[in-house]
Amino acid sequence: MIADDDEKWLAAATSAVKQNAFYMQRAIDSNNLKDALKFSAQMLGELRTSKLSPHKYYELYIRATDELRSLEMFFRDETARGCSIAELYELVQHAGNILPRLYLLCTIGSVYIKSKDVTAKDILKDLVEMCRAVQHPLRGLFLRSYLAQVTRDKLPSIGSELEGYRNMDALEFVLQNFTEMNKLWVRMQHQGPNRDKEKREKERNELRDLVGKNLHILGQLEGVDLVVYRDTVLPRILEQVVNCKDELAQCYLMDCIIQVFPDDFHLQTLDVLLGACPQLQPSVDIKTVLSGLMERLSNYAASSVEALPNFMQVDAFSKLDHAIGKVVEAQVDLSASASVTLYLFLLKFTLHVHSDRLDYVDQVLGSCVSQLSATGKLCDDKASKQIVAFLSAPLEKYKDVVTILKLTNYPRVMEYLDHDTNKAMAIIIIQSILKNDTRIATADEVDALFELIKGLIKDFDGLTDNDEIDEEDFQEEQNSVARLVHFLYNDDPEEMSKIIFRVRKHILTGGPKRLPLTIPPLVFSALKLIRRLRGGDENPFGDDTSTPQKILQLLTETVEVLSDVSASELALRLYLQCAQAANDCELETDAYEFFTKAYLLYEEEISDSKAQVTALRLIIGTLQRMRVFSVENRDILTHKATGYSTKLLKKPDQCRAVYECAHLYLAEEGENLKDGERVVVCLKKAQKIADAVQKWPVHPVVAVAWGLCLCMSNC
């Protein structure tokens, strides 16, 4: 209903404006000054209405002021004809009401600014004072807006300091107009009953650009350099902003200042600008203001390298850090998410401007930690998200986790994440390493890294919430950790050895669910090291920890752990790998040990028949390649293997296994290994088993066995 009425009134007012404008134009065309003034006053009378909403009033205002342009041109022609400003002023007084009169006076005044009979200073001063007569907020704002608009491109420039002074008239004018407009705008907040507060704020928001326009004008005034800005413009603006004590105005205007004026101005007046922040109303969203400022400064730094030294010179970083600290201190009920956001922007600023100063970055992290320590571990999703963004920023910037490891406060920030988010962050860190092919090259770096990812490495104290974890997710997590192990590497064998010992220490805290996934990569990393040590020169260090033996010893102890957590098949395979490594190092005792352990596992832990077949095959295959054993040792092991073969569940498997054992009595080199007799014994045994298998088509198995026999008889 009200909307309809609004439309109705606007329609009525607009048609009245149109009508009067038509007559005004006719008067102008016939050079009838008096009539022109009469009709223009009538037209402007429509703007006296209180019935319209700001939005609709604006439409009417545009209509009317559009028409005033032709009047303005007419006035200019009149002055050319010799009509003085005094005369025109006199004529205008006949307009009955204040508002139309003032619109006309502004129009006339603007024409005369550049004239010679009156100084610009006087006109501007008069105009801005006269408008005080209209104290109604909406009408006053639009009137002054018209004043700003109509004088805009006619203002005298401020000029350089030639005669020892600067022509500040234009500046004074705009600043005063701004101040008055802001006052009117703020007054709107308190008009009317409390229940309409929201509506009023909405309406005020629609009008805010009218006020902000003045700042734009200031920004574009000729002659506003750093000195003028710093000494006059900024202090005056801030004075009004602070004194008006209005949340809406303060928020909008601070943002306006930041967006309108050049970045290097802000840099040089950082103290003043930041000093205003604590003076603002407590309900003002300071973080938006500060983040807007920091973002602008970051972009400034990113776009112009020459400006970077200025940042150092004004010590921008500490000023911002300090300001944020004060804000956070002052606003006691600032949410965790909000304060982290503030630090996030400061961090981004630091990474842009001072990326080489890790101490600054660390300092920001530290400030954030102090702030978070007040709140304790976070259960707030929003805040957690912000912290993840906070921690990811340096990762993305440096792309090198090794740099991150130098930030002492980084792990401290991670402490404040809840378990799941902590693990998610750990995965992000690991993925950074995988993606950027980062090498973690010292044992100390390994320690630092595992401190960061400890949420993945072991259960949190007192919490074994394994039931809640999705099985697939858990596996993926641990596989990430496994992949990570291959990036923990150093060419220097001694350091590499240290790394392996250190990684083992961390991994062993993982518990039965993690070990089968994390131990294998460690084992293979160690086996690679053994191969390197073997291939290299005689160990020059004489250090105990980096001999193949010591590492094999470590491997024994490590793989043992797997059998304790029922990963016997895996353990058996790893023992066999170790045996081969020992073989390559000519360490017979160690190799024999590994086989013993493998056999023990086979006998005691591997009961599934299919698993037995595979395990036995691996044993035979490995044993076949061993060269380091003495005749007796080889005999013992071979005999046992053959024994296992005959005890397999299914006959075809037995047959196959037994003839495979025949290979154990045969080797390419060394006469003493070739035991033709035993080979034949094996084959005969195999044949016997094959015969016993009635229902099986004999032909593939026996044929294969005979084929083998033929091959061997050729040796």
Partner 1 sequence: MVLVLALGDLHVPHRAADLPPKFKSMLVPGKIQHIICTGNLCIKEIHDYLKTICPDLHIVRGEFDEDARYPETKTLTIGQFKLGLCHGHQVIPWGDLDSLAMLQRQLDVDILVTGHTHQFTAYKHEGGVVINPGSATGAYSSINQDVNPSFVLMDIDGLRVVVYVYELIDGEVKVDKIDFKKTSTSNSAP
Q: Which is nearer to partner 1, 347 or 708 (CB)?
A: 708
Q: Which is nearer to partner 1, 476 or 691 (CB)?
A: 476
- Tell me which DSSP letter residue 135 carries: -
Q: Which two tokens stand for residue 405?
A: 């490891």
Q: Which is nearer to partner 1, 269 or 577 (CB)?
A: 577
Q: How far is the CB of 586 from partner 1 (least distance, A)?
A: 15
Q: How far is the CB of 572 from partner 1 (least distance, A)?
A: 10
Q: How far is the CB of 620 from partner 1 (least distance, A)?
A: 6
- Tell me which DSSP letter residue 623 carries: H
Q: How far is the CB of 333 from partner 1 (least distance, A)?
A: 46
Q: How far is the CB of 299 from partner 1 (least distance, A)?
A: 33
Phi, psi torsion values for 488, nearest 5 degrees: -95, 95
Q: How far is the CB of 502 from partner 1 (least distance, A)?
A: 19
Distance CA 97, CA 106 (A): 15
Widest CA span in the chain: 137
Q: Which is nearer to partner 1, 58 or 487 (CB)?
A: 487
Q: Which is nearer to partner 1, 288 or 580 (CB)?
A: 580
Q: Which two tokens stand for residue 227?
A: 């000195």
Q: Residue 688 burial (CB < 10 Å; 0-12/13-18/19+)?
A: exposed
- Given a contact cutoff of 8 angstroms between Cβ atoms, the answer to whether 549 and 539 are in contact is no
Q: How far is the CB of 479 from partner 1 (least distance, A)?
A: 5
Q: Which is nearer to partner 1, 692 or 715 (CB)?
A: 715
Q: How far is the CB of 618 from partner 1 (least distance, A)?
A: 6
**CA distances from residue 425 to 9, 381, 414, 568, 678 in whole angstroms, order as listed:** 60, 14, 8, 33, 61
Question: Which residues are near partner 1 by CB under 8 A?
Answer: 434, 475-476, 479, 482-487, 520-521, 524, 527-528, 531, 573, 577, 580-581, 584, 614, 617-618, 620-622, 624-625, 660, 663, 699-700, 703-704, 707-708, 711
Q: How far is the CB of 687 from partner 1 (least distance, A)?
A: 16
Q: Which is nearer to partner 1, 286 or 530 (CB)?
A: 530
Distance CA 258, CA 638 (A): 84
Residue environment code for 156-181, b if the CB has 16+ CB neighbours within 10 A, otherwise e = bebeeeeeeebbbbbbbbbbbbbbbb
Phi, psi torsion values for 101, nearest 5 degrees: -60, -45
User: Which candidate, 240, 146, 138, 143, places its Cα nearest to that of 185?
Assistant: 138
Q: Which is nearer to partner 1, 35 or 400 (CB)?
A: 400
Q: How many CB atoms neighbour CB 290 within 10 A?
A: 24
Q: How far is the CB of 683 from partner 1 (least distance, A)?
A: 14
Phi, psi torsion values for 153, nearest 5 degrees: -90, 10
Q: Which two tokens stand for residue 62?
A: 């545009």
Name beta bridge partners: 440: 488
Residues in the chain: 715
Q: Which is nearer to partner 1, 8 or 610 (CB)?
A: 610
- Given a contact cutoff of 8 angstroms between Cβ atoms, the answer to whether 704 and 673 are in contact is no
User: Which candidate, 375, 371, 413, 381, places its Cα nearest to that of 394?
Assistant: 413
Q: How far is the CB of 459 from partner 1 (least distance, A)?
A: 21
Q: Which is nearer to partner 1, 236 or 439 (CB)?
A: 439
Separation of CA 212 from chain center:
32
Q: Which is nearer to partner 1, 238 or 485 (CB)?
A: 485
- Given a contact cutoff of 8 angstroms between Cβ atoms, the answer to whether 690 and 682 are in contact is no
